[in-house]
Structure 1
Amino acid sequence: MSHLLKPLQVGSLKLHNRLVMPPMATAKAEPDGKVSSTILDYYKEKSQGGYISLIIVEHSFILPEGKASKQQLSVAEDTTVEGLRKLAEVIQQNGSQAVMQLNHAGSAASKEVIGTTPVGPSAVCNPRHGGESPQELSQGEITDIVQAFQAAARRTKEAGFAGVEIHSAHGYLLNQFFSPLTNKRTDQYGGAIHNRIRLHLEIIEAVRSAVGPDFPLLLRLGASDYLEGGSTLEDSKIAAQEFAKAGVNILDISGGFSGYAVPTLRGQGYFFPLTQAIKKVVTIPVILTGGITEPQAAEQLLAEGKADLIGVGRAILNNSKWAEQAIESLRNGG
């Protein structure tokens, strides 16, 4: 049997194949972050036929000061739940599972969008997103952020999503804490890797307490910055083990400050050196993304044990029939 067509059960999350649509920002929400009819239509189209087993909905802000861009989705208040419920329904009625990605942009936010000075672990400019120097977060503000992730996760569950994902990649706030490039703190959140993931572990614990022991929890980890002095795969192997111990059910691997595309990396599934190494140190499933456009490439990456699930982003973004064509070609022995 095709590896891509094999089902996978992760706790209460039942996936009928190994194909994942990773989170990709659409900027289709209402100006206040509420779910729009445009966004409902978009996800309805992408999930048509249920060929994609898991759709991770684009990053959504947990606090107004963590908003990354205009018309980004919001999970920042209880009034968003009603619209989010429609979004979860649209995807799940088509036969795909829907997971919500929660994010705080940190220093990747801009004054123009949020109306205040962006915040970060330290007063260091963001190497990926540029902009002004952020304001260093106080202990009290860090606690507020943990509580905001917790409340956003509760809303996600209330809205009927099948799981929740914490965003720690692509140069956003949790990636900023993880990376030595932007985390220059001298308190318990800075320095050694265990300190740089302290905030992650506090958020995982808070989210877990809000959603209960059985609700699927994913974490997207920017497993390497691919920059001198940045986070490394060695850091990520330690982090991955700690996250799994803390109750993360699936690790979704991408780049750090490099973003999702790295000029030096080529080929389909170009983040596989990261997923392959992380798979060796954890027993939870790992998602691989990165330039995968051919079903046969996805098949081979799974067969070689490079990952457990395959994320196909741009190809599905450009062609809503990609998943259907890929699955049908594999069913027919293609």
Structure 2
Amino acid sequence: MKLLSEPLSAGNLKLSNRLVMPPMATAKSEDDGKASRKIIEYYDEKSKGGHIGLVIIEHSYISKEGKASSNQLSIADDSVIENLKKLSDVIHKNGSKAIMQINHAGSATSDKITGLSPVGPSAVSHPRNPNVVPKELAIEGINGIISSFASAAKRVKEAGFDGVEIHSAHGYLLNQFFSPISNKRSDEYGGNVLNRIKIHLQVIDAVKKAVGEDFTVLLRLGASDYMEGGTTIEDSIIAAREFQKVGVAALDISGGFCGYVKPDANEEGYFWPLTKAIKEQVSIPVILTGGITEAESAEKLLADGKADLIGVGRAILSDSDWAARAMGI
């Protein structure tokens, strides 16, 4: 049996194989963030045949101020649950497991999108959104965001998903707290790595209390900014150990402020130096994504011990039969 076809467990989540469809924004939601017929049909098409072990739904905003873009999926209030149930049902019917990714954009948005002033860990402009200088969050605001993550996770469970993924990558709010580029705080949320992940640990704790210990919680980590003064793999190893300690079932590794692309990357699975280093330090599964287009490359990355699960995004986006062919290699 090929490694890609082997089953794997992440916490209580039993996956039929090692292939993951990572979260990719479709901008197919209704204007109010509800799951549209288009979005349900899209995930139905991608998950047909159950060849993808795990489908992670695109990032969904936990509150109005955390919305990143137009027609982004919402998990911000109870009115979205009914349509999301239809979405989880269709993926399950096709034979795949389904997880929702929940997110707060922080300063990676604008008042044009949210109608509100963007917030962040510090009043520092976003490297990829330099025209926006966010309002620095007070402790009260941080507590409100932690509560919003917990409420969002509870809705994910009510909508019938198998788990939830907390988003701390690609320069969004939790990633902004993690990165020294955007986190200049002098209180308990700033400074060393443990302080910069304090909000993450509080979010994980609040989420687990909201959904119960049996519900699977993943975290997507922007493990390096690949920018001067940004987060490094050394920071991420410390963070990964802490996330494992508090019950995160798997780590989904990607870039920080560099987004989902590594500068000067020219190989499939270009984030593998990050996943390999983290995998050597934790016992929970590690997901690798980044430019993987060939099933043989996915197989080799697993065989070389660079990750436990392989995320294939753009290739599946452009070819709905990719997974079926990959499982036939």
TM-score (norm. length: structure 1): 0.98
Q: Which residue of 2 aligns with 1:83?
A: 83
* Superposition deviation, residue 8 in structure 1: 0.6
One-letter code aligned to 1:196: R
Measure the CA separation in 2 of the matches of 1:275 and 1:178: 17
Alpha-carbon displacement from aligned partner over 1:175-217 (angstroms, at most 9, x marks no partner): 0000000000011000010000000000000000011111111
Measure the CA separation in 1 of the matches of 2:178 and 2:33: 27
SS in 2 for 1:128: coil
One-letter code aligned to 2:74: S
Contact in 1 for aligned 2:226/2:263 (Cα 8 Å): no
Q: Which residue of 2 aligns with 1:123?
A: 123
One-letter code aligned to 1:65: E
Measure the CA separation in 1 of the matches of 2:305 and 2:128: 31
Contact in 2 for aligned 1:220/1:251 (Cα 8 Å): yes
* Superposition deviation, residue 117 in structure 1: 1.3
Q: Does 1:173 align with 2:173?
A: yes
Measure the CA separation in 2 of the matches of 1:270 and 1:132: 30
SS in 1 for 2:4: coil
* Superposition deviation, residue 325 in structure 1: 1.2
Contact in 2 for aligned 1:223/1:231 (Cα 8 Å): yes
Contact in 2 for aligned 1:108/1:130 (Cα 8 Å): no
SS in 2 for 1:238: helix
One-letter code aligned to 1:216: T
Q: Which residue of 2 aligns with 1:233?
A: 233
One-letter code aligned to 2:129: H
Q: Which residue of 1 aligns with 2:13?
A: 13
Measure the CA separation in 1 of the matches of 2:119 and 2:24: 23
Q: Which residue of 2 aligns with 1:319?
A: 319
Contact in 2 for aligned 1:16/1:53 (Cα 8 Å): yes
Measure the CA separation in 2 of the matches of 1:129 and 1:50: 38
Q: Which residue of 2 aligns with 1:251?
A: 251
Q: Which residue of 2 aligns with 1:280?
A: 280
* Superposition deviation, residue 324 in structure 1: 0.7
Contact in 2 for aligned 1:59/1:102 (Cα 8 Å): yes
Give 4+ residue runs of structure 1 displaced > 3 Å after superposition. Answer: none
SS in 2 for 1:107: coil
One-letter code aligned to 1:194: L
Measure the CA separation in 1 of the matches of 2:14 and 2:297: 24
Aligned-pair identity in percent equals 63
Q: Which residue of 1 aligns with 2:159?
A: 159
* Superposition deviation, residue 11 in structure 1: 2.7
Q: Does 1:60 align with 2:60?
A: yes
Measure the CA separation in 2 of the matches of 1:127 and 1:200: 21
Measure the CA separation in 1 of the matches of 2:23 and 2:228: 27
SS in 2 for 1:35: coil
Contact in 2 for aligned 1:21/1:311 (Cα 8 Å): yes
Q: Which residue of 1 aligns with 2:189?
A: 189
Alignment coverage as a number of residue pairs: 329
* Superposition deviation, residue 130 in structure 1: 2.8
* Superposition deviation, residue 266 in structure 1: 2.0
* Superposition deviation, residue 265 in structure 1: 2.1
Measure the CA separation in 1 of the matches of 2:46 and 2:291: 18
Contact in 2 for aligned 1:63/1:76 (Cα 8 Å): yes
Measure the CA separation in 2 of the matches of 1:49 and 1:128: 38
Measure the CA separation in 2 of the matches of 1:262 and 1:110: 25
Q: Which residue of 2 aligns with 1:301?
A: 301
One-letter code aligned to 1:29: S
Contact in 2 for aligned 1:129/1:171 (Cα 8 Å): no
Unaligned runs of 5+ in 2: none
Measure the CA separation in 1 of the matches of 2:97 and 2:307: 19
Contact in 1 for aligned 2:219/2:250 (Cα 8 Å): yes
One-letter code aligned to 2:155: R
* Superposition deviation, residue 126 in structure 1: 0.5
Unaligned runs of 5+ in 1: none
SS in 1 for 2:23: coil
Measure the CA separation in 2 of the matches of 1:20 and 1:39: 18
